[in-house]
Chains A and B, each alone.
Chain A
């Protein structure tokens, strides 16, 4: 497959998964839709190009690991794992937020389903990714660790402990991606706890850092490759994103973090989704 046709293919996957996020969220009365739409293109780039992960060989010792540190975007991970072949759409619909179901509002470790670790409390994931990358380095294992963080999550002190330690250990087999949609719990990150200048902060912590449009899958893939060319530092991708991306009524609205779709809004979204 040529590069351009593959990119086209990945965009189609993204389009399909966005629709699934809307559908399944509506059916399950789930919230966090805005966060999921914000990061779904990143997940598609990771799972369908950048990472070495397969549902057929989940126990491959040399495979890559993905940690969804912003665990509230669980459904974005679930639809990606579904598309990747870890489970069926029917399974996802049956298990998501249901009594006794396997797929909760925050991911719970389950090797068979492709969920590496339980997450949901913000700030934990980067350290876990660091541990995986460090163990791989000690073993000469080629596997890499990828960690997706939210921007609000970067308020957590533990994130900065992990940033310090990973660069000290020169973990060039680790990539952190910050889903920088610039909105958090009560509004804009600028107003609540300003992260800027984020790139300069991360660079000063010793990370090889690049910014990218977090909805441009091709650009995410190419920039990741460039980042890994640096051999003495961990990689950091600041993905500039739009919360609620793809659904006009949700875009750039922090309320899309909490909103549960009613029938009218759902039908309106589906009608206009193209």
Chain B
């Protein structure tokens, strides 16, 4: 997904001379083509994320469009105050690109895997928040950052080699994307796990369960009307590789409650609110946390009263 980002950024930078790419010394073996083509617009501040956000804010004050890259926790958690005070509060044109959403960094541990970011970042004002699950979704998120002047955040992960979207769809910011239609169950998901959800829905068909999938790769702004009009079943499931606190499960729960939508059953499938310091591959960590494909199928069948 990072390579899609850099490819698209290069293409856009040919058109928009105000685009800068700033990194805190990360992006090796990925950002070199940008650096080669735009040596004056590639800035490596060294390993100093707080300074990086401040410098980006200063450049944005002088009408630059700044793309800032780091691995997610360093970008979001270390620099949260700089992002909040300098970028979001002042509504500056700074785009935060974070690498390694969810358990993407697998065996690298708690310092690198990021499972609380969406909850925190979406509470900040003025910012658009994206959590793409495929290269096409990443492109849609990026297009939005090219066309808007305020802050944005994109949580990059690993993209499936074959996209679950067959082509780039028309997209209005705030909406989700209909990945698959269905009548027994409505699934909202986002990010890394969406590819797994697509496999799950296929398998559910074998069990005579027809699931609708909406990818909420844009979690802020959120078009509540779109969400409400796309709920086509009494039973709703949210699936995310993120904490159960404040992710899309919370978003959907809020919308259902605020709009007095009665008679629904919502099941949140997400990471428990605990320290995720176990070591292992992404698949291992998913399984440990009930996010593995077969575990989710069992949960969904249970919800629908169809477990054997």
Contacts and interface: CB of A to CB of B under 8 A. Distances in A.
A134 B90 contact: no
Contacts of B43: 134
A272 to B, nearest CB: 39
Interface in A96-141: 109, 116-121, 123-136, 138-139, 141
Given A109-B90, A139-B62, A134 B55 contact: yes
Contact of A130 (B40, B41, B55, B89): B55
A252 B54 CA distance: 32
Interface string B50-89: 1101111111111110000000000000000110011001
B50 A161 contact: yes
B85 A161 contact: no
Interface string B13-25: 0000000000000
A263 B46 CA distance: 52
Name which of A125, A127, A136, A138 has the most chain B CB atoms within 10 A of its CB: A127
A169 B45 CA distance: 9
Given A161-B48, A161-B51, A162-B51, A127 B81 contact: no
Contacts of B48: 158, 161, 164-165
Nearest to B50: A158
A124 B59 contact: no
B51 A165 contact: yes
A138 B40 contact: yes
Given A131-B56, A134-B59, A117 B90 contact: yes
Nearest to A126: B54
Contact of A127 (B54, B62, B90): B54
A130 B62 contact: no
Contact of B55 (A131, A139, A141): A131
Contacts of A132: 58-59, 61-62
Contact of B58 (A119, A120, A134, A139): A134
A5 B229 CA distance: 73
A182 B282 CA distance: 52
A165 B50 contact: no
Task: Classify chain B's interface size.
Answer: 20 to 34
B61 A128 contact: yes
Interface string B217-246: 000000000000000000000000000000
A264 B54 CA distance: 43
Interface class of chain A by DSSP? helix
Interface in B5-55: 40-41, 43, 45-46, 48, 50-51, 53-55
Interface residues of A, number: 33
B59 A165 contact: no
Contacts of B54: 124-128, 130-131, 158, 162
Given A138-B40, A161-B50, A130 B85 contact: no
Contact of B46 (A124, A157, A164): A164
B82 to A, nearest CB: 6
Given A157-B50, A164-B46, A165-B55, A117 B86 contact: yes
A48 interface: no
Given A109-B90, A124-B85, A135 B57 contact: no
A120 B82 CA distance: 11
A38 to B, nearest CB: 23
A117 B85 CA distance: 9
Nearest to B51: A161
Contacts of A86: none
Contacts of A116: 61
B45 A165 contact: yes
A254 interface: no
Contacts of A162: 51, 54-55
B267 to A, nearest CB: 40
Contacts of B45: 161, 165
B51 A127 contact: yes
A65 interface: yes
Given A158-B50, A165-B51, A127 B58 contact: yes
Nearest to B64: A135
Contacts of B62: 131-132, 135-136, 139, 141
6 residue pairs, one from A and one from B, having the closest CB atoms? A131-B58, A127-B54, A135-B62, A161-B51, A161-B48, A131-B55
22 contacts: A109-B90, A117-B90, A118-B85, A118-B89, A119-B85, A121-B81, A126-B54, A127-B50, A127-B82, A128-B57, A129-B58, A130-B51, A130-B55, A131-B54, A131-B56, A138-B64, A158-B54, A162-B55, A165-B45, A165-B46, A165-B48, A168-B46
Interface of A: 65, 109, 116-121, 123-136, 138-139, 141, 145, 157-158, 161-162, 164-165, 168
